Amino acid sequence: METPSPLRIALVGYGSMGKELERLAPRYGCVVEQIFSTQRPLQSAQISDFSFDVAIDFSLPSAVLSNVQILAGHGKNIVLGTTGWMAHREALGELVREKNIGLVWGTNFSVGVQIFSHLVRMAAEFANKFDEYDVALHELHHTRKIDAPSGTALSLAHIIQATMPQKTSLLTDTADGRIAPEALHVSSTRVGETPGTHTLYLDALPDTIELTHRARNRSGFAIGALRAARWVDGKQGMMEFSEIFPRIVQNQATTAR
């Protein structure tokens, strides 16, 4: 069987995630051809710098719209791992359609988080059949994280709300008093260097059920983003990572045979 050619990628943002992507790229059939950072911003790139296939953006929320405008203008497909940009979602969708590119975005590219999300959905579906159980979410991250609650926590909250329709509102601030029964409490803590922990609580008078995903390091996020980059190469449209994850799993199973 012929070995596929490495996917040529560009890293937009070269912090902890960018360095982890660079480290793991060869293991997942990718080669880093360009690195754009605060020292070498994408905005200063020359035409000759756009010979890569797919860009992976883990930069800053404030830079996302500009980055996508530039990359889409050069016809480049994108994996967007930065969070906190949802106010620009409509504008990004228009760029994707206008330039006929492919863009995969996600609140969390960790394969483990995708598995965890499916478990949360199943747990919420079961709990919804019993009036005794209430539900809450808590997330824990390092002190440098910009958004709170995390994008992952909000995605999990939306899964719960879709499964437990009685939770019609989100409470993301500190609860200073009694919480309304229709509110889903999503709380956040920022401390030290914690890479990311998300916990689902299902609580009733007889017992408490806790489901936790705890990231040990950033490699899980990088692996998912690299798999997404290989998947989106040559495709068009704006897609959320959780939507294409089953197809990535299927491709992985087929390749393993």
Which residue out of 74, 88, 118, 145 is catalytically annotated?
Answer: 145
Percent of the chain as helix, strand, coil, to the nearest 5: 40, 25, 35
Cross-strand bridge partners of residue 7:
30
Query: Helices H, strands E: what count in the chain?
Result: 7, 11
Which residue out of 141, 167, 185, 198 is catalytically annotated?
Answer: 141
Distance CA 227, CA 17 (A): 15
Whether 141 is catalytic: yes
**Residue located via tokens 């068009």:** 236
Distance CA 160, CA 201 (A): 11
One-character DSSP codes across 111-155: HHHHHHHHHHHHHHHHHTT-TT-EEEEEEEE-TT--SSS-HHHHH
Whether 99 is catalytic: no
Distance CA 199, CA 184 (A): 13
User: Could you give the C-alpha distances from 68 to 48, 61, 75, in angstroms and in order?
Assistant: 18, 11, 10
The contacts of residue 167 (CB under 8 Å, 6+ apart) are: 135, 160, 161, 182, 183, 184
Distance CA 242, CA 109 (A): 8
Active-site positions read 141, 145
